[in-house]
């Protein structure tokens, strides 16, 4: 798209070009940039693991935006009862306040991933230096709590761009996306929410939920049972994608 825009501009220097060609070229370019930024599956700015090609009915369960004192411990109770290991992409400032919850999650075999420090609404406008600072600050917290350095990063809102791509590369992180977005922060009807998730089940999927949603406590047991009834097994994320979740 950038090349197409460049070609139109260069041709315009030497030959008359209708104004709408410029509109089309720039519109296509910026449209592609926006699509690539807001769709983590697009792989435009940074490689992101959103699912894996496998033949077995396995998937990984991930939670964003915790730890949440009134929700995450109950979620851990549910997962422990079902003997399911999940990945928690934690926000740094919440980790500072709720280190015991994250420590419990790690001790019970769950993966702790990086979800930035601030989860700012303006995160995707941060320059590379600020993005890297958010990553390193949260990584250091996770290292302090778990004793291991995390390698999995999920960008806030799933937004990627050049700054995020550069910071991730410098930190040696693996970007984790999803191919089943539950929209549990928007859909309030539990039945509709479950139907949406179950309709998208596929081998090698990565499911996104949020452990700062109180409704999750009542919703999760039924969802896990329904997934099991459909002969799907929930496996640890590192096992699913074949990459280590931590480094020394």
pLDDT given at position 24: 52
Residue among 248, 239, 245, 209 at smallest CA distance from 106:
245
Question: Which entry of 64, 124, 184, 238 is annotated as an active-site residue?
Answer: 64
The confidence band for 50, taking pLDDT boundaries of 50, 70 and 90, is: very high
Specify the CATH superfamily of domain 48-247.
Answer: Glycoside hydrolase/deacetylase (3.20.20.370)
pLDDT given at position 45: 85
- Express as a percent the part of the chain with pLDDT over 90: 79
The better pLDDT of the pair 9, 231 is held by 231
Helices 128-146, 99-107: crossing angle, 10 deg rounding: 60
The confidence band for 1, taking pLDDT boundaries of 50, 70 and 90, is: very low
The sign one gets for the Cα dihedral 48, 50, 54, 58 is positive
Question: Which entry of 110, 115, 119, 210 is annotated as an active-site residue?
Answer: 210
Helices 162-171, 128-146: crossing angle, 10 deg rounding: 40
Please give the structure tokens belonging to residue 235: 């496996």
Question: Is residue 64 annotated as a catalytic residue, yes or no?
Answer: yes
pLDDT given at position 28: 52
CB atoms within 10 A of CB 192: 11
pLDDT given at position 39: 67
pLDDT given at position 124: 86
Residues 191-208 have a mean pLDDT of: 98
For the CA atoms of 172, 174, 175, 177, the dihedral, rounded to the nearest 10 degrees, stands at -170
Domain boundaries, the chain: 2-38, 48-247
pLDDT given at position 34: 53
53-99 confidence digits (pLDDT tens): 999 999 999 999 999 999 999 999 999 999 999 999 999 999 999 99
The confidence band for 248, taking pLDDT boundaries of 50, 70 and 90, is: confident
Average pLDDT, the chain: 89
Residue among 172, 188, 197 at smallest CA distance from 247:
172
Whether 35 contacts 42, CB under 8 Å: yes
Whether 53 contacts 171, CB under 8 Å: no
Please give the structure tokens belonging to residue 143: 């290292």
User: Which of 2-11, 108-117, 142-151, 189-198 has the lowest average pLDDT?
Assistant: 2-11
């Amino acid at each position: 798209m950038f090349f197409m825009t460049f070609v139109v501009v260069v041709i315009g220097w030497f030959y008359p070009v209708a104004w709408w060609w410029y509109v089309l070229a720039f519109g296509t370019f910026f449209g592609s940039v926006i699509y690539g930024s807001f769709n983590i599956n697009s792989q435009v700015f940074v490689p992101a693991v959103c699912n894996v090609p496998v033949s077995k009915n396995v998937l990984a369960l991930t939670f964003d935006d915790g730890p949440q004192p009134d929700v995450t411990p109950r979620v851990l109770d549910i997962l422990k009862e079902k003997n399911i290991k999940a990945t928690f992409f934690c926000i740094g400032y919440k980790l500072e306040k709720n280190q015991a919850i994250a420590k419990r999650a790690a001790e019970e075999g769950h993966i702790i991933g990086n979800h930035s420090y601030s989860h700012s609404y303006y995160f995707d406008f941060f320059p590379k230096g600020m993005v890297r600072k958010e990553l390193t600050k949260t990584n250091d917290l996770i290292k302090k709590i778990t004793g291991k350095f995390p390698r999995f990063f999920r960008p806030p809102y799933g937004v990627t761009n050049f700054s995020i791509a550069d910071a991730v590369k410098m930190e040696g992180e693996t970007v984790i996306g999803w191919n089943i977005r539950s929209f549990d922060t928007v859909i309030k009807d539990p039945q509709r929410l479950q139907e949406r998730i179950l309709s998208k089940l596929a081998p090698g999927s990565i499911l996104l939920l949020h452990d700062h949603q109180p409704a999750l406590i009542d919703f999760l047991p039924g969802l896990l049972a329904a997934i099991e009834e459909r002969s799907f097994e929930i496996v640890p994320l590192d096992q699913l994608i074949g990459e280590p979740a931590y480094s020394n």
